[in-house]
Amino acid sequence: MLGHALVKELCNAGYKNLLTAGRNQVDLVDKDAVFDFFAQNRPEYVFLAAGKVGGIASNKACPADYLHVNLAIQDNIFEAACKFDVKNVVFYGSSCSYPKFCEQPIKEDYFLTGVIEPTSEGYAAAKIAGIIACRAYNHQYGNRRFIALLPNSMYGAFDNFDLASSHVLSALMRRLHEAKINKTENIELWGSGNVRREFIFSEDVARASIFAIDNVERMENSHYNVGSSVDYSIKELAEKIAKIVGYKGKISWDTAKPDGTARKLLDSSRFLKLGWEPEISFEEGLTVTYDWFKENYFKIVNK
């Protein structure tokens, strides 16, 4: 999802010499494969949009996979970037790297001040390590090569709509779409629906990433939150998606299922003060995402 958005926005900004590395081209968990790729291609700038991501159910079931895969990818890319003198690497952290019971909105200073959410512990630990690694490499080598951005929950075209591993927004969009086409009168969703989440459109994150590289000399050796500064309850999210999808049935909630952290709203004021701001409204972003999902529905379900 983010990779596609980055390519689109880089092209819109006039960049032409773009190099992509899909999972079928390079196994980023394999250090030798990563080093070979960097040696052959000598990239100047790297956006590390690769990683293993998923929702609550997948994180709970496979925490070791989330920890190992993300740590391996990060370490291999960071080492290769140093060895082959990459100018800048943009690394993407996660809001789940912050403590579970954080004061809201979450400031960068709250990093490592409490216990993280257990349901995403493996993934969060890897992202925490990546954020620290960016600071450590910059400090040790006296540069600003590594830029750590923490976007909140991303969504957009090319999102993961697999019900077993997707995040809440894409999972809701698929379930409500299928409830509509199957004429399901009642749909039951996980949790209470009361927890709140902030969402940011993938193309806004892509533009933030390009902005960060253009302004790296103005940035501190620290991570930066990147969000929309607005959050919604999961009930509100479901209602918004139902309206866009056209589902008119009843939505009920299975409160026996986990909610996760009660609220995750980022304070993005430090990054906003540099001059970046999101451009896409939530309703517009949801509509674009649903249009893409409908066009690609049969490819998604037959994957």
**Residues classed as catalytic:** 123
Which residue(s) pair with 18 in the sheet?
A: none
Say how many C-beta atoms besides its own lie within 10 A of residue 131's C-beta.
24
Q: Which residues share a beta bridge with 147? A: 90
**Alpha-carbon gap, residue 140 to 82, rounded angstroms:** 11
Residue 219 CB partners (closer than 8 Å, separation 6+): 144, 147, 212, 274
The token pair at 272 is 């906003």
- Residue 125 CA to residue 261 CA, distance in Å, equals 16
d(CA 21, CA 255): 41
Distance CA 243, CA 200 (A): 19
Strands (E), the chain: 45-48, 88-92, 146-151, 153-155, 186-190, 196-201, 224-226, 231-233, 250-254, 263-264
- Alpha-carbon distances, residue 41 vs 45, 233, 269 (angstroms): 11, 45, 37
Helix axes 63-83, 121-141, angle to 10 degrees: 20
CA distances from 281 to 9, 118, 262, 278 (A): 17, 32, 23, 8
Residue 275: phi and psi, rounded to 5, are: 120, 0
